């Protein structure tokens, strides 16, 4: 596919990338809230993350794979709990490791895109109340400031949070009242282990208790990042599924309001909106409608529906008036031919959006590696690259080369 030339950049006209998060790939993220939650009883995690993909040690190999595929962007998360393992105590060595990742990206012609917090927070932060306490925003902004001072120079784009509306997604699209008592008991067990009265995880907290502070944290962190060094766009990343209303008096509008809350307005005041889309959700006047009986389902339990990307890009651009970075698009499947088909269909949607004049700046596929899929453990395969769980040997799948070929063609055509 050929995309129009937009702006001079050492990385070309369009960012073709793949993404990963720290906790899901690095392994042994011992100081994070999620590591603790994986190990208490009861827990909602089907298995612990353990070594994950050992990207903590094998990041150079990962970056080489991205470069060899022909992609020009790598979106990765940095782990707050490694960088600030105790309040106010910042690790120069851990920051150096992320700096080496960025240097390697630059050497290989890959644009580094940073996520400051991909769902995880330090254990100490959760134990003092997480984002339920007002000064949490200042602590997050302080971390963002320290990180940017060390890493900002070569960063190409960033989002403070991955999917700032994640708590809303859980409540709106994945309501599971039976899970709440288990989550509460898990968090109580975490608090006990920490010897604290509470334990609040970003991933499991309730919207009403955290959202005002999350918005404040997002704004303050954006300001801290903008102070530099580096001069790159900072956006709002959102989980955005294609909400389709069916029939009269359908509840699509209410579901959309409930999924996004204040975050579309926040994105309208940011440099860009980061669109992260996986499927569609159909809603009638009663509520959610199951996928059609003959629908193909992915390993993640939802409908295979790559067309969702086009609608969410259009919705995001219209509602915010901002450039769109597709920061995640992907499919969980063990049948790689379905991933190839998914990529083609999603890119077709993206190309139509660009042809209609929408300013889309990236396509970043989730994920580089088969990795730790949160409470589902290692049972879902989102990766372009297979990872052997004991040797950590990486084997790119045909879909990885397929995406790389799209990128090469597009980047060469724009030269
Ligand atoms: C998250 C990833 C997750 C992926 C697939 C995204 O919403 O950012 O951490 O692995 O979805 O479920």
Residue among 366, 372, 376, 383 to mutate when testing ligand 1 (max atoms within 8 A of CB): 366
Return mean pLDDT, the chain.
96
Tell me if 209 is assigned to some domain: yes
Look at residue 2 and tell me if it is in a domain: no
Q: Determine contact, residues 213/131, Cβ cutoff 8 Å.
A: yes
Tokens of 131: 């984002």
Structural domain that includes position 292: 15-413
Residue identifier of the C-alpha nearest atom 7 of ligand 1:
239
What pLDDT sits at residue 308? 98
Q: Is the pLDDT of residue 158 over 80?
A: yes
- For residue 367, the CA-to-ligand 1 centroid distance in Å is 9
Assess if residue 6 is contained within a domain: no
Residue 185 lies in a domain: yes
Distance from residue 122's CA to the centre of ligand 1 (Å): 19
Per the domain annotation, does 300 fall within a domain? yes
Rounded to whole angstroms, the Cα distance separating 55 from 70 reads: 20
CA of 164 to the centre of ligand 1 (A): 12
Using the atom order of ligand 1, give the atom closest to the CA of residue 166. 7
Provide the strand spans (E) within 285-366: 288-289, 324-329, 360-366
Residue from 236, 328, 372 whose mutation best tests the ligand 1 pocket (most atoms within 8 A of CB): 328
Contact predicate 48/378, CB 8 Å:
no
What average pLDDT does this structure show over 278-287? 97
Distance 307 CA to ligand 1 centre (A): 18
Average the pLDDT over 305-309 and give the result. 98
* 341-399 tens-digit pLDDT: 999 999 999 999 999 999 999 999 999 999 999 999 999 999 999 999 999 999 999 99
- The pLDDT assigned to 11 comes to 72
Question: What single-letter DSSP state applies at residue 292?
Answer: P
Atom of ligand 1 nearest to the CA of 371: 10
List the structure tokens of 37.
């939650």
Question: What would the DSSP string read from start to end of 324-338?
Answer: EEEEEE----S-HHH
Q: What is the band of 414 on the pLDDT scale with cuts at 50, 70, 90?
A: confident
Q: Is the pLDDT at 134 greater than 80, yes or no?
A: yes
Atom of ligand 1 nearest to the CA of 367: 10
Distances (CA, A) of 51 to 44, 64, 77, 124, 379: 19, 20, 17, 22, 15
pLDDT band of residue 245 (cuts 50, 70, 90) is very high
- Residue range 214-219: mean pLDDT, rounded: 98
| Domain annotation covers residue 298 | yes
CATH code (residue 228): 3.20.20.80
- For residue 385, the CA-to-ligand 1 centroid distance in Å is 16
For residue 15, the 8-state DSSP code is E
CA–centroid distance, residue 163 to ligand 1 (Å): 9
Q: Is pTM beyond 0.85 here?
A: yes
Give the atom of ligand 1 at the shortest distance from the alpha carbon of 162.
8
Measured in Å, residue 121 CA sits from the centre of ligand 1 at 16
Per-residue pLDDT band for 176 (boundaries 50, 70, 90) equals confident
Please give the pLDDT value at position 4.
41
Lining ligand 1 with CB less than 6 A are: 21, 24, 162-163, 239, 276, 300, 328, 366, 373, 382
The DSSP 8-state label assigned to residue 234 in this structure reads B
Ligand 1 atom closest to 300 (CA): 12
- The percentage of the chain sitting over the pLDDT mark of 70, rounded to a whole number, equals 97
User: What does the pLDDT read at residue 174?
Assistant: 84
Ligand 1 atom at shortest distance from the alpha carbon of 330: 5
Q: What is the pLDDT confidence band of residue 177, given thresholds at 50, 70 and 90?
A: confident
Q: How far is CA 265 from CA 240, 299, 354, in A?
A: 14, 33, 23
pLDDT of residue 12: 66
- Residue 9 banded pLDDT, cuts 50, 70, 90: low
Mutate to test the pocket of ligand 1, among 374, 376, 379, 380 (most ligand atoms within 8 A of CB): 374
Could you tell me the distance, in angstroms and rounded to a whole number, from the CA of residue 403 to the centre of ligand 1?
Answer: 19
Give the integer Cα–Cα distance in Å for 413 and 391: 39
| Mean pLDDT, residues 165-177 taken together | 91
Per the CB < 8 A criterion, the answer to whether 363 and 349 are in contact is no
pLDDT of 154 higher than 50: yes
How far is it, in rounded angstroms, from Cα 150 to Cα 95? 7
Distance in Å, CA 195 to ligand 1 centroid = 31
Residue 61 within any structural domain of the chain: yes
Query: Does 14 or 173 have the greater pLDDT score?
Result: 14
Region 236-245 average pLDDT = 98
Q: How confident is the model at residue 7 (pLDDT cuts 50, 70, 90)?
A: very low
Structural domains counted in the chain? 1
Q: Which atom of ligand 1 is nearest to the CA of 169?
A: 7
How far, in Å, from the CA of 309 to the mean position of ligand 1? Answer: 15
Whether 6 has a pLDDT exceeding 60, the answer reads: no
User: 256 lies in a domain?
Assistant: yes
Mean pLDDT to the nearest integer, 325-352? 98
What's the CA-to-centroid distance between 366 and ligand 1, angstroms? 7
């Amino acid at each position: 596919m050929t995309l129009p030339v937009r702006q001079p950049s050492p990385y070309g006209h369009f960012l073709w990338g793949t993404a990963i998060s720290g906790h899901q790939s690095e392994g042994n993220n011992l100081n994070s809230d999620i590591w603790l939650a994986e190990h208490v009883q009861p827990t909602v995690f089907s298995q612990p993350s353990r070594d994950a993909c050992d990207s903590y040690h094998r990041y150079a190999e990962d970056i080489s794979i991205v470069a060899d595929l022909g992609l020009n962007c790598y979106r990765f998360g940095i782990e707050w709990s490694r960088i600030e393992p105790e309040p106010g105590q910042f690790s120069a060595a851990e920051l150096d490791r992320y700096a080496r990742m960025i240097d390697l990206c630059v050497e290989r012609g890959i644009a580094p895109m940073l996520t400051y917090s991909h769902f995880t927070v330090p254990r100490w932060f959760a134990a003092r109340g997480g984002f339920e306490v007002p000064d949490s925003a200042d602590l997050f902004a302080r971390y963002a400031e320290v990180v940017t001072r060390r890493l900002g120079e070569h960063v190409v784009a960033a989002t403070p949070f991955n999917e700032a509306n994640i708590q809303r997604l859980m409540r709106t699209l994945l309501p599971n009242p039976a899970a709440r008592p288990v989550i509460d008991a898990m968090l109580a067990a975490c608090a006990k282990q920490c010897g604290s009265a509470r334990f609040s995880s970003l991933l499991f907290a309730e919207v009403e208790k955290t959202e005002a502070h999350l918005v404040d944290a997002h704004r303050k962190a954006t300001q801290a990042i903008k102070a530099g060094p580096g001069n790159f766009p900072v956006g709002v990343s959102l989980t955005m599924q294609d909400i389709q209303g069916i029939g009269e008096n359908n509840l699509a509008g209410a579901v959309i309001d409930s999924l996004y809350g204040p975050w579309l307005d926040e994105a309208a005041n940011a440099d860009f909106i980061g669109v992260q889309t996986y499927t569609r959700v159909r809603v009638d006047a009663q509520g959610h409608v199951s996928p059609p009986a003959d629908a193909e389902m992915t390993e993640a339990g939802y409908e295979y529906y790559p067309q969702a990307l086009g609608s969410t890009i259009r919705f995001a651009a219209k509602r915010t008036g901002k450039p769109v970075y597709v920061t995640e698009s992907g499919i969980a499947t063990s049948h790689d031919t379905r991933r190839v088909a998914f990529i083609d269909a999603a890119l077709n949607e993206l190309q139509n959006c660009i042809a209609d004049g929408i300013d889309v700046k990236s396509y970043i596929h989730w994920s580089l590696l088969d990795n730790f899929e949160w409470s589902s453990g290692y049972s879902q395969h989102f990766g372009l690259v297979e990872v052997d769980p004991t040797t950590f040997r990486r084997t790119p799948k045909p879909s990885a080369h397929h995406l790389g070929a799209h990128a090469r063609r597009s980047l060469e055509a724009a030269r």
